[in-house]
Amino acid sequence: MRRRWDIFCTVIDNFGDIGVCWRLAKQLVHEHGHSVRLWVDNLGSFANIAPDVNSRAQYQIIQCVEICYWQRSFVDTEPGDVIIEAFACELPEKYVMAMLQKETNPVWINLEYLSAEPWVTEYHGLPSPHPRFSLTKTFFFPGFVPGTGGLLREKDLLASHDAFNHAAEQEFFRRKDLPRRKSGEIRISLFCYQTAPIENFIQVLSESTVPVLLIVPQGIAADRISALFNHAPCQTKALISYKRLTIQIIPFMEQTEYDLLLWSCDFNFVRGEDSFIRAQWAIKPFIWNIYPQHEDAHQDKLDAFLTLYTAGLPVNVASAVQTMWHGWNEKYELNNLIWKNFAACYEPLVQHNKNWVKQLLKQEDLTSNLVQFAENQL
């Protein structure tokens, strides 16, 4: 049955929140045949990953998804059959009151942040009755193991990945005006937070024994790199060359194009949640810059994933991954040896990532799990 879904998204870190919500909205429409309204409070950030979005429009339809600008003075609207409160954002009071007026209570889901911490399986699916009204919200946790909500994954994603051959990769780089691969070159995509040791990493890469191409989307990292080399910020045409390192700053890409970039690179530095998940489906070695939290609470979250992800790896490979990730997340200083040891693990990590993906595929995808849960409640 065709249902109406409302997804509410408050943009916190510019791209991860809306990136997840946008993928979810499209999958609900195109794979499950539902009607979706996506309520977003920052259309400017949204437009960076979905160029068709008009950041000044109050209402628009993109890829069959209704996109509504979420303002403080919330308009009267009929709530959907299923309401997604993404990442603990708070629904407008006027909307909650309208939910009470529906003949049948809508399914209200708090879609939580992704975590590999063991407690997630205990809290996934727990109901939370409203303190004043006859409404119940359910906590829904994405995750990597059975007993969680799974991960976002379109039904044709891995088939498309497997079909992305060398010729398709070359065509992608040509279309994006990126330089052709040099002999023996390592290609790296870089997407990170302000906290990452970018300048230190640039120095490490410049001392590589083989050529390195570093591809950086416009934003924090690109601005810091530009400042380091006295280039104008946000300059996306010129290449920056420093010893064995070449840096190309690029405009932000639409989500499906970003997937192709991850598939085309040898190593992917990612951040937050959306690009972190996509890097895992890309199968290439990846390094996660986790969102920093008060009193370093994020380090526990980082270690929980590392424990799960590196289980079964040879000791030296697991150590290289853990050391690289900790260095990138400022647990200690990143240096040449740390990067060299990690980069040397390329082949075993690619094989490990193939096995990791097979393990993740034993779970249903997040969107399908949400749909099944909602249908069971309606």
Say what the pTM is.
0.94
Indicate whether 197 and 328 sit together in one domain: yes
| Burial grade of 30 (CB within 10 A; 0-12, 13-18, 19 or more) | middle
> Average of pLDDT values for 1-18?
86
Which amino acid, 110? N
The CATH number of the domain holding residue 312 is: 3.40.50.2000
Question: Of these residues, 6, 259, 273, 274, which one is catalytic?
Answer: 273
pLDDT tens, position by position, 140-160: 999 999 999 999 999 999 999
φ, ψ of residue 35 in degrees (nearest 5): -100, 130
Query: Does residue 227 sit in the same domain as residue 297?
Result: yes
**Mean pLDDT for the stretch of residues 133-142:** 94
Q: Higher confidence at residue 238 or residue 355? A: 355
Shared domain for 279 and 356, answered yes or no, is: yes
Closest CA to 269 of 340, 197, 319, 207: 197
pLDDT at residue 218 greater than cutoff 70: yes
* 217 and 295 inside one domain: yes
Q: Are residues 32 and 164 in the same domain?
A: no
Catalytic residue status for 296 = no
Mean pLDDT of 209-235: 87
What whole-number distance in Å separates Cα of residue 93 and Cα of residue 313?
49
| pLDDT for 38 beyond 90 | yes
* Residue range(s) defining the domain that contains residue 18: 4-151+363-377
| pLDDT the model gives residue 238 | 67
Together in a domain, 143 and 258: no
Whether residue 221 is found in the same domain as residue 344: yes
Are residues 368 and 351 part of one domain?
A: no
Cα distance between residue 126 and residue 1, in whole Å: 25
Concerning whether 223 is annotated as a catalytic residue, the answer is: no
Looking at the fold, whether 124 and 166 belong to one and the same domain comes out as no
Q: Please check whether residues 240 and 370 belong to one and the same domain.
A: no
Tokens of 97: 């009151």
Same domain for 129 and 64: yes
| Neighbouring residues of 121: CB distance < 8 A, sequence distance ≥ 6 | 143, 145, 146, 147, 148
Given a cut of 80, whether residue 252 has pLDDT beyond it is yes
Catalytic residue among 17, 81, 259, 274: 17
Q: How many domains does the chain have?
A: 2
The tens digit of pLDDT for each residue in 279-334 reads 999 999 999 999 887 666 778 899 999 999 999 899 999 999 999 999 999 888 99
Q: Is residue 322 located within the same domain as residue 220?
A: yes
Q: Which of 12-21, 29-38, 368-377 shows the lowest per-residue confidence on average (mean pLDDT)?
A: 12-21
Tell me what the pLDDT averaged over the chain comes to. Answer: 93
pLDDT exceeds cutoff 90 at 378: no
